[in-house]
Structure 1
Amino acid sequence: MAVDIRPGRVRLVLAPVTAREIDVARRISELVRDVGYEPSPGDAQVLEIAIDTLAASRIVPFWRAVVDYVDGPRPPEVVDPRGQGPSIWFQQMDSPRPQRNRMHIDVSVPHDEAPRQIEAALAARGVLRSDEAAPAFWVLADAEGNEACITTWQGRD
């Protein structure tokens, strides 16, 4: 957990999101209200880069080096030690999937913001590729087939 306090805003970073972190966020929101501010959970968003791989151990060292990152708390994952860039995680594949990209963007949002963000992507000529895992995530694609997932904390094991 990280808290960034600046004039006019408090930014709370919780990852990974579990029931405990959600409870902490609710309590912090209550405290923020008590001192006269209004929490804005709609501003919450996490950007991750996800790379599909058959063998993470073969490619993680390259990505760690090329972006100057370090190992993250949820291996296989690499994170920016400066806290500025998105994390990169490596999704295990069972077999190659030449019919689709092997890299996509994950955008984690509050569950009640996901529909708005999905509608905005569709209105911008995006395509819904899959909602089979909703409400955990939806797979969308741009006009050229590049994929992005809108993810939430809901529906996870």
Structure 2
Amino acid sequence: MVTWQLTIDCTNPTRLAHFWAAALGYEIQPPPEGFATMNDYYRSLGVADDELDQVGDGTDRIFDPAGEGPKIWFQAVPDTKSGKNRLHLDLYPTNRDRDLPLAERTRIVDARVAELEALGATVWRRWPEDFEEKLDEQFYFVTMRDPEGNEFCVA
């Protein structure tokens, strides 16, 4: 078995860690035992203070409290997002239930979209209004952007 984590480059790790923790039902990873903050831990590893200035209080990691999903690390980088994601997350508040009537599916997705907007995400496109290609008529999804512009879908 291979263990892994998802690493997301960003300019504001603390903001994205809090956004994605709330979006996914994850929790902020506390600093290792013996350290008051993640930045204290990073200093013990030799990371310079000028590098830590980019990462706020050092909050940059989240985890699934149920232990089912991967750990996620938000890595501070100096450059902003410049193109379409090559990888994105799909969130399924409908649990991908194919038997769910379209009206109910739409209601559930739109409610989750509103919650994510309140956390700082924005709607980019909605199916089917903003798409040329055609999919199953029972399908409904919304493509959103997180606070740094990374695309993800809610279906």
TM-score (norm 1): 0.34
Structure of higher RCO (CA pairs closer than 8 Å, 6+ residues apart):
2
